[in-house]
Amino acid sequence: MINTSLPLFWAVIPAAGIGSRMRADRPKQYLDLAGRTVIEHTLSALLDHTSLQGIVVSLAVDDRWWPGLVCATDNRITRATGGKERADSVLNGLMRLEACGASDLDWVLVHDAARPNLAQSDIDRLLQELADDEVGGLLAIPVKDTLKRVDPYGRVEVTVDRSVIWQAYTPQMFRLGHLRQALSDALAAGVMITDEASAMEWAGYRPRVIEGRSDNIKITRPEDLVWLTQLWHERRHEPTPTT
């Protein structure tokens, strides 16, 4: 029986996108990465964490790849219908969580399907730092390179102060009720929502940034898949430390 005395932790994975920039014959979450699909690695990272009660994956109605995966029959994973945009898919996932018994006060970690290199230490840090936060927040990293703002003609207008700029990653963790309302209201108002934090910001909240690992990359282009494949290959062949 689920203990409802304290807020629980759940996860939602929006996975209805096509990923056209990969120029592949299937959505990028179903591309091979070290012998398994990208989304299988992503789900494994979350399923391996004992604090999560369950995961909802939002999939396209005509998704023909998901049923063939072993994880499709995992009873810890529930399927929801994906939407036209990411915000629609996440909102559908939240409503599916409610049908599974999640409460408005429970925490939801929304994670990209194509971000398979999520470290357990990053999940630990997110849960530990935000469990008592009034708003919630997201994993992110401070930018390292000099940033330029350019005009429509490709000419530099100004150099941006990088000390106050962070690159947003996932998971992003918010209360189910707050995030559902923020997404619903933003979609109704026609607001452009690029991630869950932007919906919360539009609703008047100030999400907290938690520094995570820089190798928690999102696979967007073919070179990202190559880089991650090489990284995992090198890790597998690292010499065992001696005592």
Residue 208's Cβ-side half-sphere holds a number of Cα atoms within 13 Å equal to 15
- Residues ≥6 apart with Cβ < 8 Å to 192: 198
Task: Confirm if 138 and 107 have CB atoms less than 8 A apart.
Answer: no
Q: What is the pTM of this model?
A: 0.92
Domain ranges of the chain: 7-235
Max Cα–Cα distance, the chain, nearest Å: 61
Show Cβ contacts of residue 71 under 8 Å, excluding neighbours closer than 6 positions.
39, 40, 43, 44, 47, 77
Structure tokens at 187: 């979609």
Cβ contact 82:59 at 8 Å: yes
Asked: is 7-235 a CATH 3.90.550.10 domain? The reply is yes
- 215 neighbors 231 (Cβ within 8 angstroms): yes
Instruction: Tell me the two tokens of residue 175.
Output: 């209360």
Kindly report, residue by residue over 42-55, the tens digit of the pLDDT.
999 999 999 999 99
pLDDT tens-place string over residues 197-212: 999 999 999 999 999 9
CA distance 219 to 38: 9
pLDDT tier at 216, thresholds 50, 70, 90 = very high
Lowest-confidence region among 23-27, 39-43, 163-167, 185-189:
23-27
Q: Is the pLDDT of residue 92 over 50?
A: yes
- Sorting pLDDT into bands at 50, 70 and 90, what band is 239? low
* Averaged pLDDT, 63-87: 95
Whether 111 shows a pLDDT value over 80: the answer reads yes
Across the chain, mean pLDDT equals 93
* Confidence check: pLDDT of 242 > 80: no
